[in-house]
Amino acid sequence: FPQYTRGTVTAFAPFDARADAEALRKAMKGLGTDEETVLTILTTRNNAQRQEIASAFKTLFGRDLVDDLKSELTGKLETLMVSLMRPAYIFDAHALKHAIKGAGTNEKVLTEILASRTPAEVQNIKQVYQQEYEANLEDKITGETSGHFQRLLVVLLQANRDPDVGVDEALVEQDAQVLFRAGELKWGTDEEKFITILGTRSVSHLRRVFDKYMTISGFQIEETIDRETSGDLEKLLLAVVKCIRSVPAYFAETLFYSMKGAGTDDDTLIRVMVSRSEVDLLDIRREFRKNFAKSLYQMIQKDTSGDYRKALLLLCGGDDD
């Protein structure tokens, strides 16, 4: 795994797992819960430390910390705290499992995770999924999706994107022309060409392809995808293009739309804040400020309330004004 150092949450020092476990037990014992202590501890320790706290909690009290959190907290705060307690390596596999379980598939989650994770991360997700759930992730996803959307997901699941080694300008020109002919110049779109090129070429190659495409067609590739495709395929293609351009910018936009307008998409807000908090949330904050004329901190403050807001703001780690 690449060593990410652009997270807002880092290892807490000096760290004492037992002292934290005792403080959490005290906060949840008896009548009423001291939510502030719970959320402050869990948002300021990193995931590895949270696992140590859970283990100390069981050793000291013979109780399961996650079960206690579930019985003492409610609503969005509960969801957020339980998400923070999920071991980092299993986070994505768990999110995907729940996205394809039961009635109806949550395409948004499949799109967000598979478009944004690196090939190494996708390989890891597949292994963990197999170990934890004794099921093949690809089989599960193909069973619940269809058409070109399904095909692009399968391509991304192969995690065989070309490595970033030098860019061949002739191939850049060729790919840009192929996309132009498959989209703007064609009556009906040749989706397969988009799937193959966007799903398998290297990141640096595709960035050049997008520039060249603009030169040839006069359109951003996103505009063409928007016009030529629809539904889940369109959303997935756009997510892939945005992540090729910049993963932090993609997540800044995802967070912005989770809070914009009437009602908040709390599941997305929680999933992104938790999963990126130790990865690139500082970069996401910078992109957010640049692209949306307000900071992520300000938007969370305006859009959420209570202890849930306190916890999200601690994860956010500061304002960018």
Superfamily of domain 169-245: Annexin (1.10.220.10)
Taking alpha carbons only, the member of 200, 202, 259, 249 closest to residue 222 is 249
Percent of the chain whose pLDDT exceeds 70: 98
What residue spans define the domains of the chain?
17-85, 88-158, 169-245, 247-316
Q: Name the band, by pLDDT with cuts 50, 70 and 90, for residue 187.
A: confident
Q: Are 164 and 124 in contact (CB under 8 A)?
A: no
How many angstroms separate the CA atoms of 280 and 276, rounded? 6
Tell me the fold of 247-316: Annexin V; domain 1 (1.10.220)
Superfamily of domain 17-85: Annexin (1.10.220.10)
CA-based R_g, the chain, Å = 21
Q: Are 220 and 184 in contact (CB under 8 A)?
A: no
Q: Name the band, by pLDDT with cuts 50, 70 and 90, for residue 185.
A: confident
Q: Six-digit token pair at 49? A: 């430390």
Quote the pTM value. Answer: 0.95
Q: Give the CA-trace dihedral at 77, 71, 26, 53, to 10 degrees.
A: -70
> For the range 170-173, what are the long-range contacts, defined as Cβ-Cβ under 8 Å and sequence gap of 24 or more?
171/205, 172/205, 172/208, 172/209, 172/212, 173/212
Q: Do domains 169-245 and 247-316 have the same CATH topology?
A: yes
Q: Are 163 and 203 in contact (CB under 8 A)?
A: no
Which tens digit of pLDDT belongs to each residue from 114-140? 999 999 999 999 999 999 999 999 999
How many angstroms separate the CA atoms of 44 and 23, rounded? 14
SS3 for 30? coil
Q: How many residues are given for the chain?
A: 321
Question: In the predicted model, is pLDDT for residue 4 greater than 70?
Answer: no
Amino acid of residue 111: T
Please determine, looking at this structure, whether the domain spanning 88-158 carries the CATH number 3.40.50.1370.
no
